Amino acid sequence: MLPMGTISRGTRLLGQHAAALECCSVLCRSMSSSSLRVPPPACMLRPLEVPFRYLFGPGPSNVPPRVLAAGGRPIVGHMHPETYQIMNDIKEGIRYAFQTTNPMTLAMSGSGHTAMECAVFNTVEPGESVLVAINGVWGERVAEIAERIGANVHTLVKAPGGYFTNEEIEKAISKHRPVLFFLTHGESSAGLAHPVDGIGDICRKYNSLFLVDTVASLGAAPIFMDKQKIDILYTGSQKALNAPPGTAPISFNERACQKMFNRKTKPVSYLLDMTHLSNYWGNDGKPARDYHHTGPVSGFFCLRESLAILAEKGLEDSWRHHREVAEYLWKGLEDLGLKLFIKEKDLRLPSVTTIAIPDRYEWRQLLTYIMKHHQMEMTGGLGPSIGMVMRVGLMGYNCSKFNADKALAALEDALKNCKKHKA
């Protein structure tokens, strides 16, 4: 029996549906006397429904209540002083997370891809040489982006899971003399954390800028922008930072600024032009910030909160924690008889683990089973790793041994209940 004045969720939804239908039919009846020829869509008259899912794939991750609450704060104007203060705080938080003192630090309005395009669009001009290390999907993307702006694109290619030695990188850089060399630190499509030490020095020797993607690794695996002589570094909000997708931290050092602010041509994108964005983020030394675009104010609140969580926990603690949970997961996977795709432990990405597709199983069937019976997202490969791996991501808020046990139980259940092919 429900207490007086209380209605069940089902009754409330039925009531809302009935009201929506009534509203729809009234609107349709009045259409004949109105100037509108397209009626309000029935789906828009139903309440928003979002299921709960365990997001144990490569991202986005589940978001802590504190970050969700930050996103629910009242909107303020994108050019109000309070918003500028929040943007200034974000810049400090990014500098800490990237381990840099670069003044030219900001967050893009958009996902990691926006930061990827911003880096390439601003530092490369048509006809210039670019070298891209490809050992998964992200290098493929950067090569395509650079090609679209008319760069002379060279690639260093390995199969997913492969990595490049500093000797191989130096050989290719000395041959192609690129203005920009791109490397993915956290290759989420293969589950690889690429070594970075020494590459910044090679880039300086040949006057190339060193661009690094840490979308899947920031906060989960160590990276030191200044110490490792990385000229441009970017990440996304939705992985170990565990904010919703939609903002992307990026930082440029003095070398990168020299190149991008001394161009002969304008970057192809107005939205991503750093001459405007540096002013919008208060980085160009001018007394006033001008209107450029309307930033995602709620996304900035969330990003600020997620960077605050990282600052409170401490980067080293966050790296240690991700590694510890990853090792626990790796052991559990091996105990289930599964094989890890990246053999060398030190090259494994702690945030996204790749499992070789188990013999005689259909990976799609396993993942569909896990989603259906455990409301849990794990994913297959991406780009060149499709059909090679299944991916389990435990990052940020999701990074715990408790969640690793949940993921392992779901996999064990799927292995028991999904059909094997004949040998």
Closer Cβ to ligand GLV, 61 or 253, answer by number: 61
Give me the residues paired with residue 133 across strands.
156
Alpha-carbon distance of 190 to 187, in angstroms, equals 6
Minimum CB separation of residue 240 from ligand GLV in Å reads 12
Q: In sequence order, which residues have a C-beta less than 8 Å from that of residue 67 and are 6 or more positions away?
A: 242, 243, 244, 302, 305, 306, 309, 397
State the pairing for strand pair 376-377/352-356.
Answer: unpaired
Closer Cβ to ligand GLV, 190 or 309, answer by number: 190
- Residue of this chain nearest to ligand GLV (CB atom): 188
Structure letter (DSSP) for residue 103: S
Minimum CB separation of residue 13 from ligand GLV in Å reads 33
Closer Cβ to ligand GLV, 58 or 296, answer by number: 58
For residues 199 and 231, the answer to whether their CB atoms sit within 8 Å is no
Closer Cβ to ligand GLV, 203 or 212, answer by number: 212
Minimum CB separation of residue 391 from ligand GLV in Å reads 7
CA–CA distance from 69 to each of 49, 89, 139, 383 (Å)?
A: 18, 18, 35, 35
Closer Cβ to ligand GLV, 189 or 214, answer by number: 189
Sheet holding 129-134: strands in order across? 104-109, 247-252, 232-234, 209-213, 180-184, 129-134, 152-157
Minimum CB separation of residue 416 from ligand GLV in Å reads 27
Q: Tokens in use for 117?
A: 């395009």
Minimum CB separation of residue 188 from ligand GLV in Å reads 3
Q: Element (H or E) spanning 193, and its range?
A: strand 192-193
- Chain residues that interact with ligand GLV, rule: CB under 6 A: 58-59, 188-189, 382
Alpha-carbon distance of 189 to 382, in angstroms, equals 5
Alpha-carbon distance of 117 to 149, in angstroms, equals 10
Alpha-carbon distance of 36 to 34, in angstroms, equals 5
Minimum CB separation of residue 144 from ligand GLV in Å reads 16
Minimum CB separation of residue 159 from ligand GLV in Å reads 17
Minimum CB separation of residue 414 from ligand GLV in Å reads 20
Torsion-angle region of residue 181: left (phi > 0), alpha (psi -120 to 50) or beta?
Answer: beta
Summarize the chain as % helix, strand, coil (round to 5).
45, 15, 45
Closer Cβ to ligand GLV, 187 or 305, answer by number: 187
Minimum CB separation of residue 121 from ligand GLV in Å reads 20
Alpha-carbon distance of 340 to 390, in angstroms, equals 10
Alpha-carbon distance of 314 to 291, in angstroms, equals 35
Q: Tokens in use for 333?
A: 């996977």
Closer Cβ to ligand GLV, 191 or 200, answer by number: 191
Closer Cβ to ligand GLV, 241 or 297, answer by number: 241
Q: Tokens in use for 235?
A: 């990440």
Give me the residues paired with residue 343 across strands.
none
Closer Cβ to ligand GLV, 59 or 200, answer by number: 59
Closer Cβ to ligand GLV, 55 or 172, answer by number: 55
Alpha-carbon distance of 113 to 94, in angstroms, equals 17
Minimum CB separation of residue 68 from ligand GLV in Å reads 21
Alpha-carbon distance of 196 to 188, in angstroms, equals 16
Angle between helices 315-335 and 297-313 (to 10 degrees): 90
Closer Cβ to ligand GLV, 292 or 391, answer by number: 391
Minimum CB separation of residue 367 from ligand GLV in Å reads 13
